[in-house]
Each structure stands twice: as structure tokens, then as C-alpha cells.
């Protein structure tokens, strides 16, 4: 079923429907043409999940976009060190006093100085961090994905690595950007540097769990930001429709936040066990609040199919490895070479476990097995509603470029690339 042909131009991409799930899987998993970059098959997203701009892009265009996004992410990560350095400056009050001498009287009050050193740094960091998920979504959307769910998944892992680098490492190592890069060029020194830097920042990260964790998860309940946005938009545009759209949970900003708490728990439980009760409160709050939000507030925008789980798995493995490296460094610093070398099997075992999971469980996230597909297909054969389903399927995917012109009045540039990019 060719999707789009307009004014003699043919779009080099199409949705193809199959009589059975098994047939679709065959077309999906076996390379079709001789040139693997010419004839690319992908699973079609759900109709409301399609991201049209890259629908008909060539392999090369998508590949180059992906490379550009990787470069942009690295640039953003490096640029973001500037606010992090400013935040680190706030924890050194004496520096602040030299910059702003008129604050001296205020800063000498115990309460004010406690607020500034304890809460302010992570609040400022939080403010800057709140810009990151939208930027990452933007990056992922120009990366060549054809579905919104894949964009969100890609943004989720981008935000996670960004958080690890710019919150954990930048704060734990608390030096200049150049210094960090040099440490990671000398892997031998990493355990030592981490063992020196990470325990020193324990109080910062406990405060981070309280301010960022507790606050953000509680504010999640009130949804202040969407409320304010909606209020402002109503004030400005009086013609806005009165019916509220049901929101969907922003996985790309929530999941990295939750798994970052796992990272803090795993890396700090033996350095500063005081972090554990705070994390316990965080997770209890999180369970109650997210349960309520998922059941009563959010409507799922797409079926994730559990595809976010590998991100959680990978980040947990990374946290465990980081904990082992820090342990090796700490025992090294305390002159306990035996303890240090007894830790070495742990990362090896963790990596082996990860490798086993990759073989045993990862294939299930990538493709459905024949056994399930054929079973489902057989169930479908006896299903009377299938004819109706196929009828609906024909009109399910509506290319925005083919919509009636008066309908696409609110087009935001999404319609144009589809027909111009037909260069395959």
C-alpha cells in the first residue's frame, strides 16, 4: 500500500501492512535488498506515534543527523560545566563574600549561610537541569527516529548520561573541565581520584536527594509548572479551547531522575550510610505519588512495551561498576591492598552477569519470538473483529502532507520536509 504520491512525485517510504504478525516479523528482521542502506525496514509505530519529518529520509541523511546530534550532545555536556562550576562556588562561602562584600553581614547569620550552602546550590543546579530534557528531546527528534516513543527513549538515555556526567562526576571531582578529561585519559588514576573526590561530596548529594528528589517528586503531585503555563496561555490567548488535554508522563525526565537516585544509593551506601534513610523516604514518596499520577492523572501516549527497561538495567550495572571502582580507590587510599584486590573480582562478575543478561534477556526487547507471534496470529484468525481492523488500518496512517489544506492551518513546518526529502 503506497502511502503518498502527490503531483507525480513518489515518496521513497511506505507503510506496509501484513496479514500476520509473523509475516511482518519476517519482513522486519531479514535484510530485503542487496544494499542494506537502500531498503531499510522498521517496525511501524502506532498511528498517533509517528514522527513524520524523517519518515522518508534516506539512510545517509539519518546517519549524518545522528552524528551531528552526538557532536551537539558532547558540546552541550561541556558547556553545561559552567553553571556547575558556579554552583560549586556557592558552597565556598568565603569566595562569595569576596565577590559581594555587602553580603557579609547577611552571610554571617547561621540560618542564611546554611540555606546558601545546603539548598541554593542544588536549587540552581535544578533550574539549569530542567532545561536539559527539552533540549535532549529536541536533539533526539532531529536524530532520525520515525516514532515519538523512540525519540523519548533516546532522549531518556541522553538525559541519564548527561546527569551522570554533569551532576555526579562534575560535582564529585569538583575541578575544571580540563581536569576531568585528563583524569579519564589516565584510567589508572580513576579509582584514586574518585576515592578522593566522591566521599567529600557526600553532604552535597544528601542535600541533593532532599532538595531535588523530595521537592521534585512532591511538586509532581501539584504539577505547578503545567498549571502556570496553562494559566498564562489562557491569559494571553483567549481563543484557546477550554477542554484540557490529558498529559502523558515525561519518561525522559522522570526515569533518569529515579535511576540517578539508585546511582547515589549504590555509590554512597558504604561511604555515607546517612544517605539511605533519605533515599528510602524518596522511594516511598515516589511509589505513592507516581502510583497516584499514573492511575489518575497521566494517560499513556504510547505503549512502551517495557522498552525502557534496558536503560534501567544498564544504568544499574554502571552504578555497580562505579561503586566497585570507588571501593578499590578507597581501600587503596587507606593502604589496604588486600581489601583492594579482593574487590577486583566484583566488577568482573558484574560484567559477566551483564553479558549473560544481554544474551538471555535483551533479544526479547528487540524482537518478539516466533512462538509468541504464531500463537497470536492463530488467535487472530478466529477473531471476528479482524476484518474491521483491516478496514481501519487503511486510513489509520494519515500523512500530514496529504491532509486537506484548510485543516493544516496550524502546520509547524512538519509537513514540508516529507516531500522535498524524497531523494533516496
List interacting residues with a copy of itself (CB under 8 A).
25-26, 29-37, 59, 63, 67, 182, 185-188, 352, 356, 359-360, 363-364, 367-372
Cβ atoms 28, 394 nearer than 8 A = no
Rounded CA separation 78/75 (Å) = 5
Cβ atoms 87, 125 nearer than 8 A = yes
Q: Which CB, 287 or 356, lies closer to a copy of itself? A: 356
Minimum distance from residue 336 beta carbon to a copy of itself (Å) = 21
- Helix 309-333, helix 345-360: angle, nearest 10: 170
Minimum distance from residue 113 beta carbon to a copy of itself (Å) = 40
Q: Which CB, 30 or 295, lies closer to a copy of itself? A: 30
Rounded CA separation 47/44 (Å) = 8
Rounded CA separation 69/135 (Å) = 11
Minimum distance from residue 378 beta carbon to a copy of itself (Å) = 16
Q: Which CB, 36 or 247, lies closer to a copy of itself? A: 36
Phi, psi of 323 (to 5 degrees): -60, -45
Which long-range CB contacts under 8 A does 189-193 form with residues at least 24 apart?
Answer: 190/325, 190/329, 191/325, 191/326, 191/328, 191/329, 191/332, 192/329, 192/332, 192/333, 193/329
Rounded CA separation 163/253 (Å) = 10
Minimum distance from residue 406 beta carbon to a copy of itself (Å) = 42
Q: Which CB, 271 or 343, lies closer to a copy of itself? A: 343
Minimum distance from residue 139 beta carbon to a copy of itself (Å) = 19
Rounded CA separation 99/116 (Å) = 15
Q: Which CB, 183 or 221, lies closer to a copy of itself? A: 183
Strand partners, 333: none
Residue of 50, 25, 60, 74 lying closest to 145 (CA atoms): 50
How many other CB atoms are there within 10 angstroms of residue 136's CB atom? 28
Minimum distance from residue 209 beta carbon to a copy of itself (Å) = 34
Sign of CA dihedral 163, 165, 166, 172: positive
Q: Which CB, 122 or 154, lies closer to a copy of itself? A: 154
Minimum distance from residue 346 beta carbon to a copy of itself (Å) = 17
Rounded CA separation 252/25 (Å) = 28
Q: Which CB, 33 or 277, lies closer to a copy of itself? A: 33
Phi, psi of 5 (to 5 degrees): -145, 125
Q: Which CB, 185 or 244, lies closer to a copy of itself? A: 185
Minimum distance from residue 174 beta carbon to a copy of itself (Å) = 21
Minimum distance from residue 286 beta carbon to a copy of itself (Å) = 31
Q: Which CB, 238 or 360, lies closer to a copy of itself? A: 360
Amino acid at each position: 500500500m503506497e502511502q503518498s504520491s502527490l503531483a507525480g512525485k513518489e515518496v521513497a517510504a511506505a507503510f506496509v501492512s501484513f496479514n500476520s504478525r509473523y509475516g511482518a516479523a519476517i519482513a522486519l528482521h531479514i535484510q530485503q535488498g542487496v544494499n542494506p542502506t537502500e531498503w531499510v525496514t522498521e517496525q511501524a509505530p502506532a498511528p498517533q506515534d509517528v514522527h513524520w519529518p524523517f519518515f522518508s529520509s534516506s539512510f545517509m541523511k539519518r546517519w549524518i543527523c545522528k552524528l551531528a546530534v552526538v557532536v551537539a550532545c558532547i558540546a552541550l555536556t561541556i558547556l553545561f560545566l559552567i553553571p556547575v562550576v558556579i554552583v560549586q562556588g556557592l558552597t565556598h562561602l568565603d569566595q562569595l563574600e569576596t565577590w559581594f562584600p555587602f553580603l557579609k553581614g547577611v552571610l554571617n547569620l547561621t540560618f542564611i549561610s546554611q540555606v546558601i550552602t545546603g539548598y541554593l546550590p542544588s536549587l540552581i543546579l535544578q533550574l539549569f537541569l530542567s532545561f536539559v530534557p527539552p533540549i535532549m528531546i529536541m536533539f533526539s527528534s532531529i536524530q532520525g527516529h520515525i516514532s515519538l516513543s523512540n525519540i523519548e527513549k533516546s532522549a531518556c538515555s541522553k538525559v541519564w548520561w548527561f546527569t551522570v556526567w554533569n551532576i555526579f562526576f562534575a560535582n564529585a571531582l569538583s575541578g575544571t573541565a580540563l581536569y576531568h578529561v585528563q583524569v579519564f585519559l589516565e584510567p589508572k588514576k580513576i579509582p584514586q581520584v574518585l576515592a578522593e573526590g566522591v566521599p567529600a561530596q557526600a553532604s552535597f548529594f544528601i542535600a541533593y536527594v532532599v532538595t531535588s528528589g523530595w521537592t521534585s517528586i512532591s511538586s509532581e503531585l501539584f504539577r505547578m509548572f503545567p498549571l502556570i503555563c496553562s494559566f498564562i496561555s489562557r491569559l494571553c490567548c483567549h481563543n484557546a479551547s477550554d477542554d484540557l488535554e490529558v498529559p502523558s508522563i515525561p519518561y525522559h525526565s522522570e526515569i533518569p531522575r529515579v535511576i540517578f537516585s539508585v546511582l547515589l544509593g549504590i555509590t554512597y551506601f558504604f561511604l555515607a550510610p546517612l544517605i539511605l534513610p533519605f533515599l528510602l523516604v524518596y522511594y516511598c514518596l515516589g511509589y505513592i505519588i507516581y502510583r497516584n499520577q499514573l492511575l489518575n492523572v497521566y494517560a499513556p501516549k504510547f505503549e512502551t512495551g517495557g522498552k525502557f527497561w534496558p536503560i534501567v538495567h544498564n544504568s544499574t550495572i554502571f552504578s555497580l561498576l562505579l561503586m566497585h571502582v570507588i571501593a578499590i580507590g578507597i581501600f587503596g587510599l587507606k593502604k589496604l591492598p588486600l581489601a583492594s584486590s579482593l574487590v577486583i573480582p566484583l566488577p568482573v562478575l558484574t560484567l559477566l552477569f551483564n553479558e549473560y543478561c544481554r544474551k538471555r534477556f535483551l533479544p526479547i526487547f528487540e524482537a518478539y519470538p516466533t512462538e509468541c507471534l504464531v500463537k497470536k496470529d492463530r488467535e487472530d484468525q478466529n477473531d471476528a473483529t479482524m476484518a474491521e481492523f483491516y478496514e481501519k488500518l487503511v486510513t489509520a496512517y494519515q500523512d500530514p502532507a496529504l491532509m486537506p489544506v484548510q485543516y493544516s492551518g496550524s502546520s509547524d513546518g512538519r509537513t514540508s520536509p516529507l516531500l522535498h526529502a524524497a531523494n533516496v
